[in-house]
Every structure is written in structure tokens, then in C-alpha cells.
Amino acid sequence: MVSIAIVDDEASARRKLRECFVFLESQVRESFQIDEYTDAAQFFMRFDSQYNIVFLDIEMPDMDGMTAARKLRELDKTVTVIFVTNSARYAVQGYEVDALDYIVKPVDKYAFLLKMKRALARVARRKDANIMLKTNDGFECLQISHIKCLEVQGHYVIYHTYYGDYPIYSTLSAEEKKLPPSQFAKCNRNYVVNLRYVESVRDGACVLAGQELDISRPQKKKFIQALQNYMRGEGI
């Protein structure tokens, strides 16, 4: 079962999304648990990282959808966010908060079906996306989406993650093979980065979660192509 939150102040919009989910269930082998919220404050009072997908209305009173998405990303880096909006002009802002997609009101059930197939594919991959590391202290199980990058330092590879750093005795090439190539790419001989954390690329470098890393000339073409594929939704 996939857990869904709909955060929208318009009752008619929430009802229309519910109808779309009834149609979706007739088309895919999946069931859905859906909770509705009339505003972002109500949503955050109950939020405990229990949702796979959150639908956020862009234009809500008090706290708009973009502000809510930024706050949501502080609490949960991996939940799939889809914006619901009256105008497509707001969609480009979704890149700031790693939104998967946007839906323009009134929602068309066939367009909804296509977008949700993509969202469900991402949710399915993230459910099983873990890696076990052998560290000096034992073993550590990491969620792959929480890994920001891998850095080689001497005979060690440092896993830089959302929760801290984990050094292991290995090589960068060996560790890179353990990770999904659709999500990770080498930017130079010392770093493999998680593409979901790339904020921008400029002047021969990528900005990764606030840190600037050089993109070497031999890796530039492959790195840019990998990033473009990821942004099109071919990554995790």
C-alpha cells in the first residue's frame, strides 16, 4: 500500500484527486491510503515521515505550497512531492525542493495516470534502496537516498550522508559499483555524487548541497548526461 497526503484548501480539488485515485487503482496493481489536509499547518501537526507521496497545492492561505515544501524537505529528504497548481508558471520552482512533478487543475485522470506511474516507480525503488557498509565499528545500513557523495581519501572511501560521515577501507571504483548508476555519477577522480543533491552546475563545477566540487574534463560529458537523465526522471 502506498501512503498519500493531499494538502489543499479547496474541497473540490481534493475530491477530484480522490476520483483520480479510484481510476488509478483500476489501472495499476496498487492500493492507496489517502489522508486529506485543508492547510499546511494541519498537515505538519500530524506529519511523521509516514507518507510516500505528498500532493501540495501551490496557492494556499497562511503557508503556500512552496513554503510548505521547503519545510517538508527539512523533515524528510526522500518523500515524493507533487505540486497541484492553477498555473504551470509555478512548476519551475519545484526544482528548488526536488519536486517530482506538477499537476494543473482541473486534474485530468489520464494525465494523472501517466504522472503517477512515474511517481510509483520512484516510490518502489526507494522502498528497497539500502546499502550495507562494513566499517571499523561493525556494519552500518544506509538508505541510498541519504548519501550525498563518496570521497576517496588515501585507502579509504568516505560516505558523506545526510546523517554524518562513514569511512570504509575500500576503493572508489569498488564502492561506485554498489550504487545505482541512474542516481550516482563521478564528477572527478576523487568524488562520486548523488545527483539528487546537485543544486547547480557552473564554471566547470557542480554545487552539491552547498559544497562546490570540480568536474574534471574527462568526466564532464558523462556527468552532464547523467544529470540530464536524472532530471528527466530516469533516476531514483
Residue 175 three-state SS: helix
Q: Give the domains, in start order, of the chain with CATH numbers.
A: 2-127 (3.40.50.2300), 130-234 (2.40.50.1020)
DSSP annotation string for 73-133: HHH-SSSEEEEEES-GGGGGGGGGGT--EEEESSPPHHHHHHHHHHHHHHHHHHHT-EEEE
Q: Is 134 helix (H, G, I), strand (E, B) or coil?
A: strand
Q: Is 37 helix (H, G, I), strand (E, B) or coil?
A: strand
Residue 45: is its pLDDT beyond 90? yes
Q: Rounded mean pLDDT of the chain?
A: 89
What value does the mean pLDDT take over residues 43-63?
A: 92
DSSP annotation of 68: H
Span of 68-77, 83-92, 146-155, 208-217 with lowest mean pLDDT = 83-92
- Among the listed ranges 151-155, 183-187, 232-236, which one has the minimum average pLDDT value? 232-236
Residues 6+ apart with CB under 8 A from 3: 32, 33, 35, 50, 51, 52, 53
Cα separation of 199 and 179, whole Å? 20
User: Mind listing the pLDDT tens digit for each residue in 135-177?
Assistant: 777 888 887 878 999 999 999 999 998 778 999 999 999 999 9
Determine the pLDDT at residue 236. 46
Gyration radius (Cα) of the chain, Å: 19
Contact indicator for 126, 98 with CB cutoff of 8 Å: no
Q: pLDDT tens across 120-139, in order?
A: 988 876 665 678 888 777 88
**Residues 99, 91: Cα–Cα separation, whole Å:** 9
